[in-house]
Amino acid sequence: MKVRIESGDSLKPKSRIILVSSLTVLGLGMIGSGAYLELTTKQENTNIENVNPDIPLEQELTLTLKDITLPVNSALNLDVQNYIEEPVAANILQNLILDTTKVDVSTVGTYEYTITYKDQTFTGNITIQEEIVEETPTEPVTQSDIKLTLNTISLKLGESLPTDLSYYVSETLSDDIKQQMKLDTSDVIVNKAGSYQYTITYNGMYYTGTITITEDQPIRNNKQEETEEEQAKEETDDNEQANQTDDSNTQKQG
């Protein structure tokens, strides 16, 4: 900034004093502004120099992958989020690459899968196992649900009648239910061959079954059979010889 001061008598003494004072104030102001600007610049430079160079501008991603168990021949899920324990931001999720090419879903075993994000790779396990068939719990049989199916029983002549109701009924029954059943075999004669009816009464229902009494067949051993065959053969031979003798006598008489 330049200030022109004319020489001579153009300025009065009082005016000169005012002009000099103004220039002094202006100079001090400019010096102060320069000092403030230099201080501010140094402060900004100090803040930049204090940035820690060991802290990366972009922090590394941390993922926890799930260990997954699937039945044999199951289809693999293609949603990456299903393989990660924690929720992942959408902008990161779309850059994750899932690789399950090592997993053979048709063969039982444990296989590794990976998820890659830029230069980071995370590894998890997928276990393929035989399909477990869960058994449907059997509901207890109530008294009103039971419909009995009676067995047809065969016994040998003179054999005793069974006393256990399970022998007569096809269904599996609890002891409590058996105690409420009434068996009637009074029409069965175990010492006489034939077919007889027996009855079971339960829960107001009347069921009828059949008991067959059969005669014992005589036991024949091999020796007896051979002896009988030899005797039959001898009788046949004797008959043939007798017939031949009769024929010879008839021819002679003629």
Name the residue among 219, 218, 215, 183 with its Cα closest to residue 199: 183
Query: What is the pLDDT, as a whole number, of residue 153?
Result: 92
Q: Which residues contact residue 115 at a Cβ distance below 8 angstroms, ignoring those fewer than 6 apart?
A: 63, 65, 80, 83, 84, 96, 97, 98, 99, 121, 122, 124
Can you read off the two tokens belonging to residue 32?
A: 């102060």
Structural contact between residues 63 and 118, judged by C-beta atoms closer than 8 angstroms: no
Q: Select the more confidently predicted residue: 244 or 233.
A: 233
- Residue 94 contacts residue 116 (beta carbons within 8 Å): no
CA atoms within 13 A on the CB side of 83: 23
User: Which pTM value belongs to this model?
Assistant: 0.34
CA distances from 30 to 16, 23, 27, 34, 137 (A): 21, 11, 5, 6, 95
Confidence of residue 65 (pLDDT cuts 50, 70, 90): very high
Q: What is the pLDDT of residue 38?
A: 53
Residue 49: predicted pLDDT: 43
Close Cβ partners of 172 (under 8 Å, ≥ 6 residues apart)? 166
Residues 184-193, mean pLDDT to the nearest whole number: 93
Per-residue confidence (pLDDT) for residue 146, from 0 to 100:
75
CB hemisphere CA count around 162 (13 angstroms): 14
Give the count of beta carbons closer than 10 Å to the beta carbon of residue 232.
10
Residues 203 and 182: their CA atoms lie apart, in Å, by 10
Looking at residue 132, its pLDDT comes to: 72
pLDDT for residue 120: 94
Instruction: Decide: helix, strand or coil at residue 226.
Output: helix
Which tens digits make up the pLDDT trace of 4-60? Answer: 545 445 555 555 555 545 555 555 555 555 544 454 445 544 444 444 444 344 568
Q: So what's the pLDDT on residue 55? A: 38
pLDDT of residue 47: 46
Cβ atoms of 153 and 184 closer than 8 Å = no
Q: What digits encode the pLDDT tens for the residues 84-131?
A: 999 999 999 999 999 999 999 999 999 999 999 999 999 999 999 998
pLDDT in tens, 151-181: 999 999 989 999 888 889 988 888 888 888 9
The residues that bridge with 28 in the sheet, in sequence order, are none
Structure tokens at 66: 């799930």
pLDDT at 131: 81
pLDDT value of position 17: 54
